[in-house]
Amino acid sequence: MVNIRPKDAPRVTSVAAGDTTLLDGDDGVRSIEVDDLLGGLTSLALPTRYWQGYQHSNNVSTPNTKIDLAAGSCRDSTDAINIVNIAGTIDCATIGAANGLDAGALGRPTTVTITNASPGVVTWTAHGFVAGQTVAFSTTGALPTGLTAGTTYYVIASGLATDTFQVSATLGGSAINTSSAGSGTHTGTASLWYYTFGIVKADGTSALLASASPTAPTLPATYTKFRRVGSFLTDPTAHILPFTHINNKWTLATSPRDYNAIPTLDTNTPAILSVPRVLGVVARFAATAFCSPAASTASTAYVYPGFMTSTAKTGFSIGSWANTNGVAQASECQVDSSGRVNILTFSAGTDPIKVVIDTAGWQDDL
C-alpha cells in the first residue's frame, strides 16, 4: 500500500492506480499520479534481471506441500514488464492455477512394475534419472519382497536405461534382489527439483507459481510473463524438504550425502549434487578426501565445476596430504545445468582415495 499526503493533511488510508494526491514542497504544493500500488511507477522499468525480496520458507501448518514467499519485485524473464508480488503461499496440492503447481504432482508419481529377480528391475517409462537419484515406492497391495514402502532407495549405474533401472539401499551400493512378485499396483515417486516464479498478466495482476521446469512453466490462463525467483527440493516421498533462505543463499536442514566412493585416480569423475538444475548456481558443500590406511605418498583431491575441463582445476583443490588419512574442507563451486561437479584425485603412488561430499545448500543469483 502506498500512502502519500501533505504533512498537514488527514491521513490517506488507500490509493489506487490513477489517483492524484498532493505533496508538500519547498515551492508550494505539488501533485503526482500514483500508477502502481506496490512497485512504484509502472512507467519506470526495473533494471534487467532485477529481483528483490521473495524470501522462501516452509509453511508451518502444511510443510509437505506448501511454500511461503515474502513480498518481492522483479523484472520478467523477457525484460518486458515489472512483476510485483505481495507475500503469498504456493500450494503444490493445487494444480494448474495461480499460487499452485503448474502441472503434474509433487514427486511425479508414476505407475511402475518391479520384477521378481536378482537383481529386481524397476520399469518406469522415460524416467530420466541418473545414478544416485533417490526414489520411493508405494502400492495398493504388497511390494516385492526386498523392498519396503516409503523407504528411500538409490538408482544405481548398473542396468540404468531409458525406461528401467535397479536400486540400492545405499548411495553407490549393490542392487537389491527381489524374491516375490508382490501384488497390487505399484507407484514410484522421486526426489525432484521445483522452481518458484512470480507471474503476471498484461494488466499487472500478479501471482506465484511452482513448476518442475526452471525455464518454461505452464502459465495459468491470462498470465503472460514470468520470472524464476527460487527453488525447492522434495524428498523421495514427494514431501518438500525443510530449508532456510536468506538473501540469495538456501541451506538444507539436513545435508544429503551426494557422493561416497573411490574414484579412479587421475580420471574425471562426475557427481550430481543436491542443488537446483540451473546453470550459474553455486553449490555449498563439505568435501572429505581420505585414504585408509594413511596415504604413504603425496595425494591431492579436486572438486571443480562440471562444465570445466581437468586442465582448469587449479584453485579447486580440497587439499593435499601425505602420510595422513586425508583432508576435509567446506567448499563452494559452480555447477552445470544438471547439478554436476567433477572430482579428480591424484596420488604419487597407487593409494586409493575415497571422496565424500555432503551438500549443505546453494547460492542462486537468479
Cβ-contact 320, 306 below 8 angstroms: no
**Looking at residue 357, what is its pLDDT?**
94
pLDDT tens-digit series, residues 290-338? 876 665 677 888 898 888 877 777 778 877 776 667 778 888 999 999 9
Domains of the chain in start order, with CATH, are 1-34 (no CATH), 51-105+192-247 (no CATH), 251-363 (2.60.120.340)
Per-residue pLDDT at 293? 65
pLDDT, position 301: 87
Res 322: pLDDT: 67
Q: State the CB neighbour count (10 A cutoff) for residue 198.
A: 29
Residues 6+ apart with CB under 8 A from 122: 112, 113, 114, 135, 164, 165, 166, 167, 188
pLDDT score recorded for residue 323? 64
pTM: 0.85
What pLDDT score was predicted for residue 169? 96
Q: Residues in the chain with pLDDT < 70?
A: 1-43, 292-296, 322-324
Q: Which residue has the cell 548411495?
A: 171
